[in-house]
Amino acid sequence: MAEAFSEVQGAEEGDNAKLVSRPEAGVEATTRWWYRFHDSELESLIQRALKGNRDLKLAAARVREARLQRAVATSGFWPSIDVTGGYNRGHGSENVELPFGNPAGGSGASGSAAPSAAAEPAARMAADAAPAEATTPAGGAMPAVSGGNRPAGPASPLGEGGLPGVTTNLYQAGFDASWELDLFGGRRRALESATAQLQAVEEAERAAMVTLLGEVAETYLQLRAGQRRLELAQQNLQVAKDTLAIVRAKFDTGFATDLEVARQTAEVATIEATLPALQTGERVSIHALSVMIGDPPATLAAELSKSSPLPELPPEVPVGLPSDLLRRRPDIRQAERDVAAATARIGVATAELLPQFNLAAAFGFDSSEPGDLVDWSSHYYSVTPGVHFPLLDWGRAKTNVRLSDETEKAAVLRYESVVAQAMLDVENALVRFRNEQIARAARVEALDANRRAFTIARQRYEQGLVDSLVVFEAQRSLLAAEDALAQSEAMVRLHLVALYKALGGGWES
């Protein structure tokens, strides 16, 4: 990166606002740059826009959303713990046959009224053969799973209600916990990615602030420039009407022709035709500023309708060094954080290629009587370590790593493009600002010369020494010179605002 901006090195003497490049100049240029114009109205509008602008509020909402997303990524490091509890009352069908007889003596049994000594262990064996989620240690049935989540067929060889002809009660209370061990850093990389994404969104909010500051200042300058041009047009219209009165008086006395009257009448109409467009521009700027501060379009009509001079230029404009842009411009900082997030996602994708270890545990109490639920003899527990290693899905995971790698390369290219665009913005703003000041100085000289020419032409015309055409041409030149200078004064300030935006200024406030 260059040691200084080329357009600063090429700055010429005679500029009204000097361009200064030194290491500490970047902070001077960017922090609350609008105060350098010394315009209290502009300062007030910017403060109100920072508080009420809807786009800025939307950017702040996105920052809050990104913070919550990072909090979600952080929660993955901790075990998940569920508190469970429930009650179940079940009665088994009496028409279910057991291999060694029905303990309840139902009609589905082999005929005995009570279970034999061999039948009871057999019944217990049948109960033990049932799936764990369908039976309980007390022989009752667990609450039935909803039909959409349970596979087809009976949940247990004993049916839904438990042991044939047996009514059971079951009270349960306990805890379930699960924890995925981050042995290969997948969750840590996910948190790193979420953190970088949060920082990128924060930089996007700052970029929105820089854009808003520039838009408010540019619109305000356009408003004041339009009001100045409107005043000049109205003054020139009055001069043209006065000249028309003189021409008509000379025509009445025979010292002017009807052609001269027609020319000056056309000149008056031409100037009048420029007024509506200038008035429209004034109202449009007021409406835009009102919306920028978060209010209805006509809110600032009374406050800003009165004309005011353009803000003064600062004596010097410190621009800092090209390297300052890397840590000052929010869009560059955002692009750098996007690269960091994309790099971290490569680690997340790589972790999917490796085994995932988890640990599940359960602890609680089961009892058929509520009074025995808190008895230590009613407790149960289980600890289940596990491992998950995708085999058939390994191709997808490997492709995902390659995809993340390409995404990171694209983010790097975007970063380089943003840096190049930032340098281009600053260099263009510098050359426009510097050259417009040179053009403005020439327009000041041209305006002085046109004023003298118009004054002389009008005096000589009143004395009958020149034709009215000389006055018409002098008047047109004067009007054009005044309007051109008013526009140049505004453009110098607009280019300065563009320079402050290019330098990434204002978000520090």
51-55, 187-191, 459-463: which range is least confident on average?
459-463
Give a yes or no: residue 311 inside a domain: no
Q: Say if residue 242 is in the same domain as residue 294.
A: yes
The answer to whether residue 284 sits within a structural domain is: yes
CATH number at residue 163: 2.20.200.10
For residues 71 and 148, membership in a common domain is answered with: no
Q: Do 106 and 160 belong together in one domain?
A: yes
Give Cα 301 to chain centroid, integer Å: 30
Asked if residue 44 and residue 161 are part of one domain, the reply reads no
What percent of the chain lies above the pLDDT cut of 70? 82
**Position 257 in a domain:** yes
Q: Are residues 363 and 230 in the same domain?
A: no
Residues 37 and 161 both lie in one domain: no
Q: What is the pLDDT of residue 158?
A: 65
Residues 214 and 143 in one domain: no
In a domain, 319, yes or no: no
Domain range for 138 is: 80-181+355-388
User: Residue 1: inside a domain, yes or no?
Assistant: no
d(CA 41, CA 309): 11
- 433: helix, coil or strand? helix
Total number of domains in the chain: 2
Are both 338 and 484 inside the same structural domain? Answer: yes
What integer pLDDT is reported at residue 21 of this predicted model? 67
Last residue of a domain, one of 368, 388, 408: 388
Instruction: Say yes or no to pLDDT of 149 above 70.
Output: no
Q: Which residue did the predictor score with more confidence, 133 or 422?
A: 422
**What is the pLDDT confidence band of residue 3, given thresholds at 50, 70 and 90?**
low
In a domain, 232, yes or no: yes
| 44 CA to centre of own chain | 24
The stretch 391-398 carries a mean pLDDT of 81
Say yes or no: 367 and 463 in one domain: no
Close Cβ partners of 130 (under 8 Å, ≥ 6 residues apart): 155, 156, 157, 158
In a domain, 315, yes or no: no
pLDDT at position 28 over 60:
no
Alpha-carbon span 496 to 437, nearest angstrom = 10
Average pLDDT over residues 47-74: 92
pLDDT at 134 > cutoff 50: no
Q: Is the model's pTM score more than 0.95?
A: no
Residues 169 and 29 in one domain: no
With bands split at pLDDT 50, 70 and 90, how would you rate the model's confidence at 43? very high
In a domain, 509, yes or no: no
236 token code pair: 């020139």
51 and 122 within one domain: no
CATH at 22: 1.20.1600.10
At how many degrees (to 10) do helices 330-351 and 394-462 cross? 170
Three-state secondary structure call for residue 18: strand
pLDDT of residue 353: 86
User: Model confidence over 219-270: pLDDT tens digits?
Assistant: 999 999 999 999 999 988 998 898 889 889 888 888 888 888 998 899 899 9
> Out of 167-171, 346-350, 423-427, which region has the weakest mean confidence (pLDDT)?
167-171
**Do 217 and 173 share a domain, yes or no?**
no
